[in-house]
Amino acid sequence: MRVRLTKMFHFEAAHDLPTFPPDHKCRRLHGHSFRFEVLVEGEVDPAQGYLIDFADIKKAAEPLVRRLDHYYLNEIEGLANPTSENLAKWIFDRLKPSLPLLKSVIVHETCTSTCEYLG
């Protein structure tokens, strides 16, 4: 049986988007209550009855949450231009080595705006 599991995480952070026009609101320093979803996909081991322990997903993601939470994203290596697109890829690239079943990362910048990175 093929399944997809999702685990959600959240963090608070500030950023500005330096490639936006000078008069755009996102060019100014501002913050978000970010959420991101980690999606893994694969075949369920029939003997175990599950794909992966949710605790293993949490273990892989928690160091990233600690690195992002209550920080200025632009100062984090690899996030000089922390758009939702770049943030989703940054998270994905750091999770993939410890989560080989990783399918995608979805970043929720606001309650109505998301970005999914498929690797």
Query: From the candidates 10, 70, 75, 85, which is the catalytic residue?
Result: 70
What is d(CA 9, CA 94) in angstroms, rounded to the nearest whole number? Answer: 15
85 is catalytic: no
Strands, sheet with 2-15, edge to edge from the N-terminal-most edge strand: 71-72, 2-15, 30-43, 102-108, 114-117
111 is catalytic: no
What is d(CA 27, CA 46) in angstroms, rounded to the nearest whole number? Answer: 51
The amino acid at 43: E
Q: Which residue blocks in 2-119 are alpha helix, DSSP H?
A: 54-68, 84-95
Query: From the candidates 26, 32, 37, 116, which is the catalytic residue?
Result: 26
115 is catalytic: no
Active-site residues, by number, are: 26, 70, 109
